[in-house]
Amino acid sequence: MNPKILYVEDEPFLSRIVTETLQQQNFTVHHEADGSKVIDVLNRFQPDICVLDIMLPGVDGYTLCRQIRVRMPLLPVIFLTARTEISDLVKGFAAGGTDYIRKPFSMEELIIRIKNQIELTSKRNGNQMVSEEVVLGNYRLVPSRYELISTTKVIKLSQRDMEVLSFLASNQNHVTDRRELLLSVWGDDSFFNSRTLDVYIRKIRKYLSEDSGIELITLKGKGYLFVVDGNN
């Protein structure tokens, strides 16, 4: 069965080119220009991946991605945007995006990223994320609910948050190779993905900041040392 793509874009010329090209590559594409209709389409179409423009009429892409995450937590979402600020990148991943392409983009790059996201999702589903709780100092990591629970709050994690933190947690108090982490979570160690990993590392440090016994140390040229006192 051909992979199904939910493509959300309000620019008519661009959307026609992208839709036709993806169909020629044997993808089944449902194009939607109105953000307010996306959730209804999501439920009916059941896509394998969503390619989502950020600037949309009615509902912006960030909001839509959060709504999609509630209904399909494991669905890969690639953001398309003309924005260039790192803060926009952070906001996109915080909303639950799994990849990010800046306009203008080549169709070759988009197709590669779509195939990569579908392949990574397939591997994750095949491996099945561990559902047992993991104790990290004063926190409990609950993969099945995408939650990091401290003594004062419950932090809802995105899929990519969970993947990065789970990888680090599985190797706590030992050195985690940066390239190995990139290949496991993103499928390649490109400069773009490397910068994206930096964003997630900063987020995870913030999530875990309540416990002074937890340190996520960057080892330049090597990777990370995830130190959790009492969990040796």
Question: What is the CATH number for 203?
Answer: 1.10.10.10
Residues 96 and 61 in one domain: yes
Question: What is the CATH number for 100?
Answer: 3.40.50.2300
pTM of the model: 0.61
Residues 9 and 119 in one domain: yes
CB 68 within 8 A of CB 79: no
Phi, psi torsion values for 13, nearest 5 degrees: -65, -50
Q: Out of 127, 157, 177, pick the residue that ends a domain.
A: 127
Kindly report the average pLDDT of the chain as a whole number. Answer: 86
Q: Out of 65, 100, 127, pick the residue that ends a domain.
A: 127
At 24 the pLDDT is: 95
Q: Which residues contact 84 (CB under 8 A, 6 or more apart)?
A: 102
Q: Out of 73, 102, 127, pick the residue that ends a domain.
A: 127
Residues 90 and 173 in one domain: no
What pLDDT digit, counting tens, does each position of 60-91 carry?
899 999 888 878 877 889 999 887 677 777 78
Residues 14 and 111 in one domain: yes
Residues 122 and 196 in one domain: no
Residues 197 and 89 in one domain: no
Residues 9 and 50 in one domain: yes
In this model, does residue 132 exceed pLDDT 50?
yes
Domain hosting 13: range is 4-127
* Domains contained in the chain, number: 2
Peptide bond into 104 cis (omega under 30): yes
Please state, as a whole number, how many other Cβ atoms lie within 10 Å of the Cβ of residue 186. 22
Q: Which residues pair with 138 in a beta bridge?
A: none
